[in-house]
Amino acid sequence: MSPNRSWLANNAAPRQAGFTLLELLVVMVIIGLLAGYVGPKLFGQIGKSQTKVTRAQIDGLSKALDQYRIDTGHYPSSEQGLGALVSLPAGEPKWAGPYLAKAIPKDPWGNDYRYTAPGEHGDYDLLSYGRDGRPGGDGEDADITNWWCPRQHDSRCPTTSST
């Protein structure tokens, strides 16, 4: 070995172990691309599951309302509301509740369910206004109801969406 080579080998700065800035940037770009692809699909599924939970809760409340009607001969009035399912309404001697095991649930977006009796679409109307908490809307903002409309443009159907 020549004297110059041994001096360079002994005096060269030791190479630090680790990643270069370029390698870190490439990894971050790849992670960002994956998150951009997977994120919207994941959050779309969360919205669909909230809609399914709402439908299941409306179905459960409808069954409790039907049991209330079997016992008392009528559905709770709009004034009594869904509270009649968990506590004895005044002047209701045939009440055999509570008809729900727990308190009246809120929809997955934290809003109260809307109950009207008699309803425009049946003996009672029970609905959630969806994520936005306002009548109408599309997607996750659409109203979710206890009635079903076979044709969206049927004059008997509500103006709000039932999906």
Q: What is the pLDDT of residue 65?
A: 95
pLDDT classification of 156: cutoffs 50, 70, 90: very low
The SS3 of residue 126 is strand
Is the whole-model pTM more than 0.75?
no
The domain locations on the chain are: 39-163
CATH architecture designation of domain 39-163: 2-Layer Sandwich (3.30)
**Tens-place pLDDT, residues 104-126:** 999 999 999 999 999 888 899 99
**Looking at residue 153, what is its pLDDT?**
45
* pLDDT of res. 81: 92
**What count of residues does the chain have?**
163
CA distances from residue 76 to 1, 27, 47, 143 in whole angstroms, order as listed? 100, 60, 31, 22
Look at residue 43 and give its three-state secondary structure: helix
Give the SS3 label for residue 6.
Answer: helix
Question: 4 pLDDT band (50/70/90 cuts)?
Answer: low
pLDDT in tens, 124-136: 999 999 888 888 8
